[in-house]
Structure 1
Amino acid sequence: MTSAVYGQADAFAIAATIASQSNSLDWSGHEIVLATGDGEPVRGSGHHRIEPHYSLAEATDSDVVLLPPIFGDIEKALTRERALIAWLASLPSRAKLLASTCTGAFLLAEAGLLDGRRVTTNPAFGALFRERYPRVQLALEERIVDDNRIICAGSTTAYLTLAVHVIHRLAGHDLAVATAKALSMDLNPESQRPYFMFIAPKDHGDDKVLGLQNWIETHYPEPVGIDDMVDAAGMSVRNLNRRFLAATGLSPRQYLRMVRIEIAKRMLESQNAPIDRIAEAVGYGDTRAFIRSFGDIVGLSPGAYRQKFRTR
């Protein structure tokens, strides 16, 4: 992701400029370089040319290593980047910080550096991450997770959050605050949950489960109970729960809840209807129950979500 590479470089340049104009802040001694496998230019996202300073072999003595997001097919990238992964695995233990943004965490995990650690990444790739790295504790709701030597930032634009966090680690609170202000961003980022998008898995190959998914997505405004879903699916409760969970990773009740909240989010973004009307439209007879459920999933109240994402 080209913007992550140069965006972090710009953030560090801003920190250096601020420090140079202050008697109390210091960013001296930090050399910021870009490295590629062989020291040759590469194409980032959008086919933009990224010019490195060094090859990986010349950057082995780095104290801090930042990995940008993988933009594209994750598994193909992991196969292609075996040399980078081996380089990460062989870094001397004195390298005091290893950090990733978004799907860059896959590279750290593939190198075996995240086993037993608590990390975050892009929620859209959470299922793939859990499948590949079951020994890693994934905290998708968090924007940044600092586990001493390893720092992982969440999805996409969290590269600036990570840059400011690294400035805090290397040069202290005051320079981090000043840099965050220069970038017009918060020093303490909020949860990633408001940005989650529920994309229903439908390529699982279980036609009965798929049929019930489609039924739920049509009947969500109604007072749907487990008996209704059992009748619609034509299965026993036990068989339905087992197969639905295996296919989607959710129980039928959880799936219904996610469908309702996702539709409520779209309504809050585009309509000015009162909260109780929206609750009723997505199948909640009790507005307080809707607000609790919304907060559990989204991390914001419906009103706060509307304020953040409504159409201007």
Structure 2
Amino acid sequence: MTSAVYGQADAFAIAAYIAGRRGDASWSGHEVRIATLDGAPVAGYGGHPIRPDCSLAQASDSDVVLIPPIFNDIEETLAAEMPLVSWLKKSSQSRALLASTCTGAFLLAEAGILNGRRVTTNPAFSTLFAQRYPAVHLAVHERLIDDNRVICAGATTAYLNLAVHVIDRLAGHDLAVATAKALSIDRHGESQRPYFLFIAPKDHGDEKVLELQGWIESNHTQPIEINDMVKVAGMSVRNLSRRFLAATNLSPRQYLRRVRIEAAKRLLEGPTASVERIAEAVGYQDARAFIRAFSAVAGISPGVYRQKFRTS
């Protein structure tokens, strides 16, 4: 992701500029370099060229290593980037501070660096991450997690939060706050949950579960109980729960809630309607139950969500 590479480089350049204007030596001595495997330019996402300052071999003395997001097929990229993974393993054996943004965490995890650690990544890839790296403790709702020698930032533009956090670690709170203000970003990013986009898994191959998913999506505005879902699926409660969880990583009740909350988000983003009317429109008879469910999924209340995302 081209913006992550140059965005962080810009953030560090802004920190250096502010420190220089203040006569503050806290950032002096930090050399920021962009490195690629062999020191040759590479194409970032969208085809934009990323021009490095050095090769990975020349960057082996780095005190801090930042990994940008993967914006490509994750598993294909990991297979193609084994030299980088090997280099990261060696870096982890030094006292270098390692950090990733978004799906860049896959590269750290592939190197075994995240085992036993608590980390975050892009929520859209959390299922794949959990399957590949069961020894890693994933806290995907958090925007940034600092585990001493390893820092992981969440989805996409969290690269700026990570850059400011690294400035804090290296040069102190005052310069970090000043840089955050210059970048017009919050010093402490909120939870990622308001930005979660629920994309229902449909490629699992279980036709019965797929049929029930479609039925839930078509009928979520009506009162639905587990017995209704059992009847549509034509199987026992136990068998339905087992197969649905295996296929979607959610129970049937959880899936129904996610479908309803995603529908509520769309209504909250549009012309103003009362929370009570929106609750009823997505299948909740009790507005208080809707507010509790929405807050549990989105991390904020329906009213706050509306303020953040509604159409002008």
Corresponding residue of 1:225:
225
Corresponding residue of 1:68:
68
In structure 2, C-alpha distance between the alignment counterparts of 1:211 and 1:245, rounded to whole Å? 14
In structure 1, C-alpha distance between the alignment counterparts of 2:89 and 2:121, rounded to whole Å? 19
Unaligned runs of 5+ residues in structure 1 are none
Give 1:219 shift. Answer: 1.1
Give 1:309 shift. Answer: 0.5
In structure 2, C-alpha distance between the alignment counterparts of 1:306 and 1:248, rounded to whole Å? 28
SS of alignment partner, residue 228 of structure 1:
helix
Give 1:25 shift. Answer: 5.6
Q: What is the 5 A alignment of 1:115-154? A: 115-154=115-154
Give 1:93 shift. Answer: 3.5
SS of alignment partner, residue 280 of structure 1:
helix
Corresponding residue of 1:196:
196
In structure 2, C-alpha distance between the alignment counterparts of 1:38 and 1:208, rounded to whole Å? 50
One-letter code aligned to 2:86: A
Structure 1 281/92 Cα, relative in aligned 2: closer, same or farther at 3 Å?
A: closer
In structure 2, C-alpha distance between the alignment counterparts of 1:24 and 1:310, rounded to whole Å? 42
Measured against aligned partners, the alpha-carbon deviations of 1:198-229 in whole angstroms (never above 9, x if no partner) come to 11111111111111111111111111101111
In structure 2, C-alpha distance between the alignment counterparts of 1:171 and 1:252, rounded to whole Å? 49
In structure 2, C-alpha distance between the alignment counterparts of 1:132 and 1:212, rounded to whole Å? 28
Please identify, of 19-28 and 95-104, the stretch whose mean Cα deviation from structure 2 is larger.
19-28
Corresponding residue of 1:215:
215
Unaligned runs of 5+ residues in structure 2 are none
In structure 2, C-alpha distance between the alignment counterparts of 1:256 and 1:189, rounded to whole Å? 29
Q: What is the 5 A alignment of 1:44-193? A: 44-91=44-91, 93-193=93-193
In structure 2, C-alpha distance between the alignment counterparts of 1:269 and 1:91, rounded to whole Å? 45
Corresponding residue of 1:241:
241
In structure 1, C-alpha distance between the alignment counterparts of 2:92 and 2:195, rounded to whole Å? 36
Give 1:150 shift. Answer: 0.1
User: What is the number of residues matched between the two proteins?
Assistant: 312
TM-score with structure 2 setting the length: 0.98
SS of alignment partner, residue 145 of structure 1:
strand
SS of alignment partner, residue 185 of structure 2:
coil
8 Å contact 1:25–1:175 — kept in the other structure? no
One-letter code aligned to 1:178: A
One-letter code aligned to 2:26: D
Percent identity between matched residues is: 70
In structure 2, C-alpha distance between the alignment counterparts of 1:46 and 1:232, rounded to whole Å? 44
Give 1:156 shift. Answer: 0.3
TM-score with structure 1 setting the length: 0.98
Displaced runs of 4+ in structure 1, greater than 3 A?
92-96
